């Protein structure tokens, strides 16, 4: 079965080209998700001549902290011709691309089995680094170049469809936010004749709390008054294995709130944990808000399309119908910066359930709420995400088949 496995070191060579002439200014970083990203490093006063040049179809990797992260960051430069990266990253290329395709090798690096192998070989200590010699000794199957091309082609069919779905959902999100601002900030929702309300002479009334005019019949309420109820979660005792040993109920952390529909999670808790601990099983159409978390997590939102529980850093907003829950989701999306600034200006830098509960918002008339298009948009986003979820599973199957390469999965047999 492993007769066609060969060490990676047989096919790659290190490249150490420096930016001596300062001809290249595009600076990239390397993410743990195995992608190149725009660098956020402060380069003021830095000698950019020491930075390494990476060119199209070359790889960069990090062999530091592999054990800590449980992954070896490695990425293939494909979208641009050249860039520069930190001198801390080894850069390498394939010696003969008629023997091994860069895209095929990158697929191998994407496999979870590769990360497990890298983590296992990472040496001890705080950083848990991987020795370069150990990396070179890792083996992979190398089928004929024709078969590699076919595997890469099939993988890219799936990858490109997922990317297209992400673009579709991005457009839907942009459309929804633009509609929210048009209807509920500019007050240009359609009147009974289908004309924009405010510019068509719709009646406006002065609101003392806002010191501004709002449409007649609208009012200002707190989120707590607008919602049916609000909840926060908790984390079952990690020391109790029986709380985490069965996948009975999804359990969501703030890091999973990425301003989108939620249809899958990273962790689950058991029926026992649900009964013993102060966690609540939240219904579909609950809106979640991150009260605190790493980086820019605070203020991120999620819209549940599965029943789920959460940790204590999530605030759950439950409404009595989808019109209200999708409306409040987009209120939170559009006003995130302002909402987060409330916490920054307070005694402590995090949001809390009380802060969110007492946020004041302009609430449209019932008639106007029942007209908005957000339910249709949210359902469309969910449908697209579920298709991408199936495609992602197909990707994993195709990656797992690389260890045998006798079988090639045909993505055409699956609706994509």
Q: What is residue 222's predicted lDDT score, i.e. its pLDDT? A: 96
Q: What is residue 124's predicted lDDT score, i.e. its pLDDT? A: 67
Q: How far is CA 211 from CA 30, 110, 187, 331, in A?
A: 48, 55, 16, 20
Q: Reduce the DSSP state of residue 15 to 3 states and report it.
A: strand
Q: What is residue 126's predicted lDDT score, i.e. its pLDDT? A: 58
Q: What is residue 123's predicted lDDT score, i.e. its pLDDT? A: 80
CA–CA gap between residue 78 and residue 76 (Å, rounded): 6
CA–CA gap between residue 122 and residue 303 (Å, rounded): 39
Q: What is residue 346's predicted lDDT score, i.e. its pLDDT? A: 54
Residues of the chain with pLDDT under 50: 1, 407-416
What is the reported pTM?
A: 0.84
CA–CA gap between residue 343 and residue 338 (Å, rounded): 9
Q: What is residue 2's predicted lDDT score, i.e. its pLDDT? A: 67
Task: For residue 149, give both structure tokens.
Answer: 């091309």
The Cβ of residue 11 has, within 10 Å, a number of other Cβ atoms equal to 19
């Amino acid at each position: 079965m492993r007769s066609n496995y060969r060490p990676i070191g047989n096919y790659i060579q290190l490249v150490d080209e420096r930016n001596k002439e300062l001809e290249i200014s595009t600076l990239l970083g390397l993410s743990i998700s195995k992608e190149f990203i725009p660098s956020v490093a402060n380069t003021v006063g830095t000698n950019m001549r020491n930075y390494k040049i990476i060119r199209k179809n070359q790889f960069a990797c990090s062999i530091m902290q592999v054990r800590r992260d449980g992954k070896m960051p490695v990425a293939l430069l494909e979208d641009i011709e050249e860039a520069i990266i930190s001198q801390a990253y080894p850069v390498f290329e394939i010696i003969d691309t008629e023997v091994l395709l860069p895209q095929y090798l990158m697929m191998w690096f994407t496999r979870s089995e590769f990360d497990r192998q890298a983590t296992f070989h990472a040496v001890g200590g705080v950083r848990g680094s991987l020795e370069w010699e150990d990396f070179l000794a890792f083996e992979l199957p190398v089928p004929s170049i024709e078969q590699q091309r076919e595997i890469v082609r099939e993988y890219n069919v799936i990858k490109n469809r997922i990317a297209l779905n992400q673009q579709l959902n991005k457009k839907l999100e942009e459309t929804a936010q633009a509609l929210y601002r048009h209807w509920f900030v500019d007050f240009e929702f359609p009147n009974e004749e289908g004309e924009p309300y405010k510019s068509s002479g719709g009646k406006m009334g002065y609101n003392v709390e806002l010191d501004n005019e709002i449409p007649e019949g609208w009012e200002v309420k707190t989120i707590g008054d607008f919602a049916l109820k609000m909840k926060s979660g908790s984390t079952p005792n990690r020391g109790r294995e029986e709380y985490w040993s069965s996948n009975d109920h999804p359990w969501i952390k703030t890091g999973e709130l990425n301003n989108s529909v939620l249809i899958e999670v990273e962790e689950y808790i058991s029926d026992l944990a649900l009964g013993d601990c102060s966690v609540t099983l939240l219904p579909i159409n609950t809106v979640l808000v991150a009260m605190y978390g790493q980086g820019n997590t605070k203020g991120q939102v999620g819209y549940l399309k599965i029943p789920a529980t959460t940790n204590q850093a999530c605030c759950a907003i439950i409404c009595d119908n989808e019109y209200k829950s999708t409306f409040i989701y987009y209120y939170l999306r559009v006003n995130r910066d302002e909402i987060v600034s409330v916490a920054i200006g307070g005694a402590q830098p995090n949001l809390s359930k009380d802060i969110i509960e007492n946020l004041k918002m302009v609430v449209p008339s019932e008639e106007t709420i029942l007209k908005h298009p957000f339910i249709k948009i949210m359902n469309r986003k969910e449908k697209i995400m579920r298709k991408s979820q199936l495609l992602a599973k197909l990707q994993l199957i195709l990656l797992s088949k690389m260890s045998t390469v006798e079988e090639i999965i045909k993505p055409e047999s699956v609706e994509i």
